[in-house]
Amino acid sequence: MSYFTLLYATLIWRIKEGALPATSAMPKWQTAIAHITHGLLLLATLAMPLSGFIMSYAGGRAISFFEFELLSAPEKTPWLADAGSFVHHSSVLIIVVILALHIAAALKHQFVDKDGMLCRMLGKS
């Protein structure tokens, strides 16, 4: 539940505040890739827990939160459990790849462009 709280707070903040402007003049293709990367990262971090919930529930498992049963175990729905499993496990790979790209881009900005992007990402602008 705290994961969803943080995720929704991040989404609300991003929608309310919008994206930060670039610290330096970047080519349009880099700006487009940055926006796509951030969007996919947010989408994958939302899809992973939701698909895990669907995978478990459709697999006939009850949904509990700190020993309190929120939803009792339903009848199994194998096709939905399989779909949830596919999305859940694919989300892990997507998050890892996008996170690696994000780290590589941050290091490029820090050591090649020297535009202070990494400091700004850490809140030290």
Per-residue model confidence (pLDDT) at position 21: 66
Q: Encode 97-106: b = buried (16+ Cβ within 10 Å), e = exposed.
A: ebeeeeeebe
Any idea what DSSP says for residue 65? Answer: E
- Report the alpha-carbon distance of residue 121 to residue 35 in Å, rounded: 15
**Chain position carrying tokens 């929704």:** 8
Stated pTM of the model: 0.72
Helix (H, G, I), strand (E, B) or coil at 63: strand
Q: Indicate if the pLDDT at residue 120 is higher than 70.
A: yes
Per-residue model confidence (pLDDT) at position 24: 66
Q: What is the pLDDT of residues 20-77, one digit of tens each?
A: 666 667 788 888 888 898 889 888 988 998 999 899 999 999 888 788 888 888 999 9
Using an 8 Å Cβ cutoff, are 23 and 106 in contact? no
Using an 8 Å Cβ cutoff, are 28 and 50 in contact? no
Mean confidence (pLDDT) of the chain = 85
**Chain position carrying tokens 């487009």:** 32
Q: Indicate if the pLDDT at residue 1 is higher than 70.
A: no
